[in-house]
A and B are shown apart, each in its own frame.
Chain A
Amino acid sequence: MRSLSLTSERAGHAWLVLLVLSLSAFPWYKDASLIAGPGASALFEALSGRGWFWPLIVTTALLGAASLTRSWQASNLALGLGLAAGVFYVWQGFAIGLRGPSAAWVGDLFARAQDGQTGLGWGGFLAGIALIGLLSDFVAARGFCRGERFPAFCITAIVALLTVFVFFPILKLGLAAFVDTDGNLALATFWARLSAPDLWGVGCFFGDGRCGVVVNTVVLGVLSATFATALGLALALLVNRTDFRLKRALRAVSILPIITPPFVVGVAIILLFGRTGLVTGFVADLMGVRPSRWIYGLPGILIAQVLAFAPVTFLVLLSTLEAINPTLEEAARTLGARSMKTFRTVTWPLLRPGLAAAFLLAFIESLADFGNPIVLGGGYEVLSVKIFFAVVGARYDLGNAATLAMILLALTLIAFWLQTRWIGRKSYVTVTGKSDAGLAAPLPPALKVAVIAVIIPWVIFTLAVYIIIATGGFVTDIGRWDLTPTFSHLETAFRFEFVENGLQLYGSAWDSMITTLWVAGLAAPLTTLIGILTAWLVSRQDFAGRRAFEFGTMLSFAIPGTVVGVSYVAAFNIPPVDITGTAAILIICFVFRNMPVGMRAGIAALAQIDKSMEEASQTMGAGGATTLRRVVLPLIRPAVFTALVYSFVTAMTAVSAVIFLVSARHNMATAYIMGRVEAGEYALAIAYSAVLMIVMILCVVIIQVIVGTRKLGRRQELQGRPAQQPAE
């Protein structure tokens, strides 16, 4: 085993062996099983006329020769050969397409190029991994990451994955913004799309005409993020800093919106506040006014978004609050500061990174939100919906969609930049590994009243929405207030029978349900792994290009789901990476879209943990990987939990990217529900959503049990009360 250890001195040989095996022992192309034997490998394909493999094979052979010399990993020759192998690897994938060579000279050189080639299979992907490993080994040997192989490999692998699954598709789509419908370069068209008056108009502020879609989007995003952050903060303070009795119930209620499939909240809000809604009818009778359609547009989207994002901000702010070292607050109190002053001068400044992260998260989510505007938007257009209809509308215009996506991307990046400026370069380290005893200060009374005043209306509203969701699926027709109890909707979706040869699933929703569980169950741990790893690399490793690396990882979160979906179809429907129509494309899409959330949570948690503990670990002789596992991970458990829950739940409730990536074989629950809402089968949609939510609650509980919570000092105790069991 020692000789194959991937981070030891002999790692280079191990990667080289893997590269040789991938070229000679495993089938290179897709649709062949792993044990198909060497007959389908790149080496045999090359011998049988597919000559475009020779440069890669020859370079690999030269690398093998070089590896016989001493300290070959650090030599310029090895690095040059490794880079050349990487280039040849990429080149062989793109030079020959599905139906033939991509350039005439390739066709002239290799006769068999006319046959074309399919996507990469086992051998192809293994070779990619081996090349990444080799290159990371070479750069580590030259002093990258202080010569540590584990972080060097992680960085190289994440960069490679981001390049393939984030930048490459977006680059393909970005190019589409600059070409007209015939595929020619057209800067004038781009400028015309960019400067269209229906994007930038501000008429609605002055009472004449309507506002542009960009203005609408920004107004909605700022309002929604502000309200959601305020509400999230109120919830976090109430749970972490008071002895409010219904805390656990409140925590449970606040989880609900996160696990709610997107369309169903919109539907419930319409059933409550629409023109024939329950509340509308009641108020109209009471006040004698004509029922109106005020809910359609900004008010409706705003309500639904605040309801949806407040729990996300709550989770972020709660983990920030939990990580504030109470000795600082105790010191302030001991020095004579009143509780309000302590909160203002000690707690609040320490909350700022959390607040910034929460606002940023809610703002970006609002920009990318698709489910609420499409149900409740009315005449209020936002970018995500406009992009969606530029792609799926009756007038397919990928160029316009790409242009709009660029604007949306720019908005998100500006928000990101502003937030970084606001947090500034102050130190927020409070968990130092030194004295940690202390109790969190209780909330000042005035603030407590304000917090409760904000939360009570929210609780009533949330309950009303969820009563609709809980009952809507089990009555005949909630839309027309036909409240006869029935199980017929549930039966349509989830009918099953026990017959002779076992369980038979007949319901129309089983397929999508099972696929969704598989995809979410595989995507969540992968997302968390990559997200937390990235957070650790960004905040703890010193390497060239760290800022660019951090920026790159955030990009995938900023790209609206709709655009990710189309760009994936455009990029991955053809070789070399030919994975549309598989479950893998769904998982990959979720991993790279949600990974920044895990990363942000990880960075926020790591920002509060002093480096000295890791340095102590390394002084004692532990390597990067051991330190990460034994010291860092236990300290940032709340972030791991946030990342796991968020990525799992998002994978189950996301829709905008998914509708392009689902296939007949792999359908997802949200795509199915969207279809039901579109077809007006509200009851079926609500019934399915209710079942989906119960499943998600079960899964979140399981995650909680597995991950657990962080225990630091006496932090579980509050105001001298005995420690409670962690809430769900």
Chain B
Amino acid sequence: MTVKHLSAATLAVLGLNVAVPATAQADELVLYCSVQEEWCRAMSEAFQRETGINVLMTRASSGETYAKIAAESEQPRGDVWWGGTGDPHLQAAQEGLTMEYVSPMLDQLQDWAQRQAETSGNRTVGIYAGGLGFGYNSELVTENPPACWADLLDARFADDVQVANPNSSGTSYTMLATMVQLMGEDEAFAYLAKLHNNISQYTQSGSAPIRAAATGETAVGIVFMHDAVAQTVQGAPIVAVAPCEGTGYEVGSMSIIAGGPNPDSAKAFYDWALTPEAQEIGATANSFQIPSNVNAATPEAAPRLEDIKLIDYNFALYGSSEERTRLLSRWDAEIGSLPQ
């Protein structure tokens, strides 16, 4: 009798005793990674081998990671946020979620990477760059391939162009900001409204459109060019295009999360990730971004920024919370609400 009754109470106790968390281990690094999994995996493995620091890695898109860091701000669980478009990194810097740190490696970096650090008051730094463009499926588009943004308005691409939703994807927000800077705001929204007639779907993930193009689900996908190149390298019939009018670019960034559990490991990773050796890992993991260390070799297949007509992208303005919220609200009202 008594034993039975005790067991009921014991179960209640057992239900809670798992609530006592494991204590933190020495020499660990909790890495929030926002590039593709393959690259994340290669980076954490290489760092672990190099330093013996045990890396606990989580991969999530930059939007998700930003939300996670914001939600955990009272008691941060992550140490370093590595990769993903620069805007959410700048937003995190602006809100004080990330820590100020000047790496001794900073002067080895390209101008655009150092500018990212200046803009954020040294709370983030550029680790790679890549131009915005689009890719088309050469089996579906056999003649007169598109070369400019304007070509995408062509009626033959009706229901055949995909781009991500700028509310969820940093890639697509970069396109929105690029169009505004390239054409002027009202003209940009007029262009996007016309383009809307050809859009079959606003995807959630930034690189989803090019995967759809690779399997033939759509003819054209608007993405970062290195994502298009990655598909080509893997054997898909994809041709990457740098639009003739000019285009914007992203500065993939890295930040140390303020108040993280392992600040020393975080700094070690930060410095290591800026070395040429660490930056050359990307090419082995099917990632063709341009590394930010001037001494790191650019992958052969990577689209060179010199070959692309780049606009002078204003990261400070378009990375700020206010401008971002304003542009996205306007996108919701004028483009997102149009009938499909």
A-to-B contact residues, CB < 8 Å: 1-2, 4-8, 30-31, 98, 121-122, 125-126, 128-129, 133, 150, 153, 157, 197-198, 203, 208-210, 270, 274-276, 293, 296, 374, 378-379, 385, 389, 391-396, 479-480, 508, 522, 526, 529, 566, 569-570, 573-574, 577-584, 587-588, 591, 625, 629, 659-660, 662-665, 667, 675-676, 678-681
When chains A and B are docked, how far (Å) is the Cα of A680 from the Cα of B286?
13
Query: Would you mind naming 26 contact pairs between A and B with Cβ atoms under 8 Å apart?
Result: A1-B6, A31-B21, A31-B23, A98-B74, A98-B75, A125-B19, A129-B16, A133-B9, A203-B339, A209-B339, A270-B217, A293-B200, A296-B200, A394-B63, A394-B87, A394-B328, A395-B328, A396-B63, A569-B71, A570-B71, A573-B71, A573-B75, A574-B74, A574-B75, A660-B68, A680-B208
Are B5 and A396 in contact (CB-based, < 8 A)? Answer: no
When chains A and B are docked, how far (Å) is the Cα of A385 from the Cα of B214?
25
Decide yes or no: A395 and B325 within 8 Å by CB, A5-B2, A663-B77 being known contacts: yes
**Interfacial chain A residues near B26, Cβ < 8 Å:** none
**Interfacial chain B residues near A587, Cβ < 8 Å:** 18
**Interfacial chain A residues near B3, Cβ < 8 Å:** 1
Decide yes or no: A569 and B2 within 8 Å by CB, A30-B20, A293-B159 being known contacts: no
Decide yes or no: A275 and B216 within 8 Å by CB, A7-B5, A395-B167, A396-B70 being known contacts: yes
Are B170 and A394 in contact (CB-based, < 8 A)? Answer: yes
One of B53-61, B120-128, B308-316 at the interface: B53-61
State the Cβ distance, B336 to closest chain A Cβ, in Å: 8
When chains A and B are docked, how far (Å) is the Cα of A679 from the Cα of B285?
13
Q: Please provide the chain B residues from 27 to 59 with a CB less than 8 Å away from any CB of chain A in the complex.
A: 30-31, 36-38, 41, 56-59
Find B21's partner among A125, A209, A275, A579 (CB 8 Å cutoff).
A579
Known: A394-B167, A395-B328, A629-B4. 5 other contacts (CB 8 A): A122-B20, A389-B167, A393-B167, A394-B328, A395-B167
**Interfacial chain B residues near A389, Cβ < 8 Å:** 165, 167-168, 204
When chains A and B are docked, how far (Å) is the Cα of A529 from the Cα of B17?
17
State the Cβ distance, A580 to closest chain B Cβ, in Å: 7
When C-beta atoms are compared, the residue in chain A nearest to B333 turns out to be A198
When chains A and B are docked, how far (Å) is the Cα of A704 from the Cα of B20?
32
**Interfacial chain B residues near A583, Cβ < 8 Å:** 18
**Interfacial chain B residues near A582, Cβ < 8 Å:** 18-19, 21-22
Are B63 and A5 in contact (CB-based, < 8 A)? Answer: no
- B138: Cβ under 8 A from any A Cβ: no
Find A664's partner among B1, B13, B30 (CB 8 Å cutoff).
B30
When chains A and B are docked, how far (Å) is the Cα of A115 from the Cα of B21?
22
When chains A and B are docked, how far (Å) is the Cα of A117 from the Cα of B168?
37
Instruction: Sort A-B residue pairs by CB-CB distance and give the 8 closest, nearest first.
Output: A664-B56, A276-B216, A680-B211, A582-B21, A379-B340, A5-B2, A392-B64, A584-B19
Name, among B1, B71, B204, B336, the residue most crowded by chain A CB atoms within 10 Å (CB to CB).
B71
**Interfacial chain B residues near A395, Cβ < 8 Å:** 167, 324-325, 328
State the Cβ distance, B4 to closest chain A Cβ, in Å: 7
Decide yes or no: A126 and B13 within 8 Å by CB, A296-B201, A395-B325 being known contacts: yes
Are B325 and A678 in contact (CB-based, < 8 A)? Answer: no
Find A667's partner among B16, B58, B338 (CB 8 Å cutoff).
B58
Name, among B87, B168, B324, the residue most crowded by chain A CB atoms within 10 Å (CB to CB).
B168
